[in-house]
Structure 1
């Protein structure tokens, strides 16, 4: 397919944004432990809470870069990040102080959480620390959700999460809640009724929106027995129309066409200090691109980093949408691309 001038212009702007040294996204894993054991989870929970020297490294990195930044984004991931609440409080407070010291620095923060510990009071507390966007997953009504999103002790989680969502709705927390609703062949028959309940209960509040996401195989131990929907299943579009009914399209979240992992100025910091790019490929050695040092400097292996950025050089939108494709496709054409230098952001 021939690219238009506007397509090329958009691509080049996205490329420029991805290497800007005045923007930095840190995806932080304050703990890699979790209070859930979701049946499709791909994480192994082998690492615990972020080590003190790594926390110091994150704060020192912010200090090193703050004077030259216009935008700092801290994205909290896990495990379940709220199990390490004190680390979140420590680092976000440090980021707020950095924002106060440096004119022109905009600090933002978001969190991917299972929602079990995020009630209205906690949402207000996190908002005060700058954490104002939360992504929470639901697998359908309780009888479906509690089969797949279970606590580590095997007990269900839906009712607790739902009470927390109502608590947030009734609070004045300055937050945005993205409900990531997982779709599977098993729960599709109940989805119209469940999503109608979400629409009528939560979506009149502009702080809430929904992202309909097919469960896919991500390398977890139950992949072989999982049933998944086809990407072009027409029933997904029907559900989106149901959610928009009586409201507007902002009720539906549309993900960015370019993955964070394709951006040179986005880094994953694991609890043990390893640097990576992707929150899914945690067990793949290709996803370790270096280490954060206690003084805030970054020891980056450019040979490990380079494959994550190949979509910009190949101008392949599929690779930019998921850079992990470079490790799962036929590697021969990618090796040819990889011989040429790739421009990256200045990290130090």
Structure 2
């Protein structure tokens, strides 16, 4: 029997009671239909779809009964686009699972991303930091050593073995991605080892370098900033200057805003791509307009290589009360409201800018959505390798510093000694590994959410962390379509290093 696909997404449009957008969760179809056609599809759902963002589900005002079948040619198109199917819900779930696994395997065959941790040490003492214990608990003092050249050599001896495991031919060329994370990776004291990693990486061929840094000591890297070396930087601000200086503090309690701002000027002058992440909770949310004004006053948005976006703080330690945090949907709605009253807020990107931009590309030129499907949430589940100063290898930079959670270690001989159980746990997590995600119409757009946040919220690694994604996705698609109709500039893909 013909029924509506379990992966049909209904996007209702504000102030448009006659039309809707349909999105299919695994065929990649995007279509505008009459409300009557959407109501017909809804009537053939095996289970109730999500409540619309704008208003309630109802047929068009002049229709007193559920909509009948559309004409045969419309039915044929709905079938061809995937919205109608003869598969049972169980059969369609199996089809979805096979597709998700194939996409995940394809992602795992990409060249790996390498992340070096020059040190676990940091010169700041941010209260919400997930690594806070490493600098405040004496039991972790042994971790605060610096990566040494001999260990870097050992790691690079292992690179061909890592790439062979991903089916990558070292002789085939292609670009590699090498990043720096910490602790604080770009402390002045780490300059020699960072430079050595860059030099060793270049022997592999074409390499793109990036770093997640607090930018307090970037002046020590002046000649390495920009194209060819530290080309991309992600830097965090915690509010306008006074608020930031209460949150991102040195060990003596002094603030860091002025120094970070000077170094952002330097990085931009040197040609680096700079992406600023604004950490937001309920206590500094109202200060975002002041942040926007401070950013505009610095003139940073005049440079095409600069971008800034807001992201919610997560309760990563016992110093961050959960009641003070926001989820991504709550933050996005607050940003929309602020933009109405504070036009300067448009300089600050919203959490789901990438969804809106990709949807605009579909509406503008029929871009293929399949390459943007997310069978897993991030590189931790397919091809990211994080090396710490001890030669321990981790999958996720949110979970480092404890040997029992490492996925491997690099032996003195340059061999990769896998911990098969932990490696398999990280690399097997996808939307196919969780029954909830397998049945979710948004799964290939969401990726199942962050494993660390899922573990913290549900106590299970392979659980889903939805973070209001259904509402966020539908609102983002509606926004993108309205912007398409208005003919505004679509903008470029946001240059963010992590969606967390």
1:262 corresponds in structure 2 to 381
Identify which of 53, 67, 70 aligns with 2:174. 70
2:154 corresponds in structure 1 to 57
Q: Is 1:167 the equivalent of 2:266? A: yes
1:94 corresponds in structure 2 to 200
Q: Is 1:35 the equivalent of 2:123? A: yes
Give 1:109 deviation, angstroms: 1.3
- 1:43-98 per-residue CA deviation (whole Å, 9 max, x = no partner) reads 11431212444212223234665435633211100011112121111011111132
Query: Which blocks of at least 5 consecutive residues in structure 1 are unaligned?
Result: 100-105, 335-348
In the alignment, is the contact (CA less than 8 A) between 2:310 and 2:348 conserved in 1? no
Which has more radius of gyration?
2
In the alignment, is the contact (CA less than 8 A) between 1:30 and 1:88 conserved in 2? yes
Give 1:130 deviation, angstroms: 2.4
Q: TM-score, normalization: structure 1?
A: 0.80
Give 1:161 deviation, angstroms: 0.7
Identify which of 139, 142, 145 aligns with 2:238. 139
Give 1:165 deviation, angstroms: 1.8
In the alignment, is the contact (CA less than 8 A) between 1:184 and 1:228 conserved in 2? yes
1:321 corresponds in structure 2 to 449
Q: Is 1:180 the equivalent of 2:282? A: no
Give 1:177 deviation, angstroms: 0.2
CA distance in 2, matches of 1:238, 1:268: 39
297 and 68 in structure 1: CA distance in 2 versus 1, 3 angstrom threshold: farther
Q: Is 1:232 the equivalent of 2:329? A: yes
CA distance in 2, matches of 1:311, 1:49: 34
CA distance in 2, matches of 1:230, 1:250: 13
1:111 corresponds in structure 2 to 211
In the alignment, is the contact (CA less than 8 A) between 2:122 and 2:183 conserved in 1? yes
CA distance in 2, matches of 1:216, 1:193: 22
95 and 230 in structure 1: CA distance in 2 versus 1, 3 angstrom threshold: closer
CA distance in 2, matches of 1:325, 1:165: 30
Secondary structure of the residue that 1:305 maps to in structure 2? helix
CA distance in 1, matches of 2:99, 2:304: 29
1:153 corresponds in structure 2 to 252
Secondary structure of the residue that 1:61 maps to in structure 2? helix
1:293 corresponds in structure 2 to 411
CA distance in 2, matches of 1:332, 1:147: 34
Alignment: residue pair count:
321
193 and 268 in structure 1: CA distance in 2 versus 1, 3 angstrom threshold: same
- 1:134-180 per-residue CA deviation (whole Å, 9 max, x = no partner) reads 000000112100111001222110111112222334x2x23110001
CA distance in 2, matches of 1:51, 1:227: 40
CA distance in 2, matches of 1:92, 1:168: 18
69 and 325 in structure 1: CA distance in 2 versus 1, 3 angstrom threshold: farther
CA distance in 1, matches of 2:348, 2:121: 38
CA distance in 2, matches of 1:227, 1:243: 25
Secondary structure of the residue that 1:324 maps to in structure 2? helix
In the alignment, is the contact (CA less than 8 A) between 2:186 and 2:217 conserved in 1? yes
In the alignment, is the contact (CA less than 8 A) between 1:180 and 1:211 conserved in 2? yes
CA distance in 2, matches of 1:165, 1:250: 21
Give 1:238 deviation, angstroms: 4.1
Give 1:10 deviation, angstroms: 8.6
10 and 167 in structure 1: CA distance in 2 versus 1, 3 angstrom threshold: farther
